[in-house]
Amino acid sequence: MGDLGLTDERDDAWSGRRVLLTGAAGLLGRAVTAELVAHGSTVLGLDIDWPTDDPDAETGLVRVPGDVRDREAVDRILREEAVDSVIHLAAQTLVGPALREPADTFSHNIQGTWTILEACRAQRRVARIVVASSDKAYGDASGRPYVETMALRPRHPYDTSKAAADLLAQTYAQAYGSPVAVTRCANLYGGGDLNWSRIVPGTIRSIVLGERPVIRSDGTFLRDYLFVRDAAIGTIALADQVGRRPDLHGQPFNFAAGQRLTVLEMVDRIVDLMGSPLTPRILAEPLHEIQVQRVSAARARRELGWRPRSTLASGLRQTIAWYRTYLAASPP
């Protein structure tokens, strides 16, 4: 297998492609950019919040400040930049803000998705589209592993916004023949996520600062965790395949590594890897989140030949190293 999860003879398939990547400044966006640029693509990175000081700036990336909901801007990029591939990651991704300001999350995540899909429908040059949904779109499956044939039954604002984006992508494939597929990734972690409320970056930052890490829940929430580079490789492999196989149009694919831990177990792993004596402070606040989430990636393994390359230990070591460097250069 090649680095992008493609067969060796197609591992250069992205050389020369021109890719519109929305949400390019985010955790997954950065990882997707790094993979595409390494394989010869030109990446037009559209993001509403490009940082002014970026330790991971990629050569080969053209930064495009802007709002994914701006149809005129999206049309202009697709037309003037001769874009042939679109990977739509832009979203409001935090559960807490989604609960407090649902309309803003619905606007970014749902309107942003239909704007991209409509713009692509008008520009027939676009040959492959991936829309990022989430495992949260499934809702509560009572602990059963999520598989792609399950109905989407979200109950909370963030989950509902991702399910709506997911269904929009399926609708455009069925109604208009759009060459679009959907990713549903497990919880991502990796260097570059500066949302300190998330358990992995927040825990690492606390330990670097000599503070006890904070767990907002009771620590028993169970999640599948996926290293961000593995998610990026899966996303790109799906984009390649959907441009070649009409039978994949409108189809969803789960991506997960089978690395399932409670929040407390994840914190303990990080503490151990960092050699810290600190113990977490458990707030046990009530959270409007799903208690147990398990994700099956059997379809991606079977139909795309994708597999995770990183163990939990190796992924966390790379992540910890990134934050140590970042926090040393940019102390709070």
The Cα–Cα gap between 247 and 241 comes to 10
Q: Residues 6 or more apart from 304 whose CB is under 8 A from it? A: 5, 234, 237, 238, 241, 253
- Interior angle at CA 28, CA 218 and CA 221, nearest 5: 15
SS3 231: helix
Residue 259 to residues 3, 187, 250, 285, Cα–Cα distance (Å): 21, 10, 27, 25
The phi-psi region of residue 277 (left if phi > 0; otherwise alpha if psi is between -120 and 50; otherwise beta) is alpha
The answer to whether 112 touches 68, Cβ cutoff 8 Å, is yes
For the question of residue 158 being annotated catalytic, the response is yes
Kindly give the residue spans of alpha helices, DSSP state H, lying in the chain.
Answer: 27-38, 71-80, 95-100, 102-106, 112-122, 157-176, 199-208, 228-242, 263-273, 298-299, 312-329
Place of tokens 């990796």: 190
What's the burial of 286, exposed, middle or buried (CB within 10 Å: 0-12/13-18/19+)? exposed
User: Residues 138, 146, 158, 172: which is the catalytic one?
Assistant: 158
The Cα–Cα gap between 64 and 18 comes to 14
Do the bridges between strand 252-255 and strand 180-185 make them parallel or antiparallel, or are there none, so unpaired? parallel
SS3 67: coil
The Cα–Cα gap between 188 and 249 comes to 25
Q: Residues 6 or more apart from 200 whose CB is under 8 A from it? A: 189, 193, 225, 266, 270, 316, 319
The Cα–Cα gap between 168 and 157 comes to 16
Residues catalogued as catalytic: 158
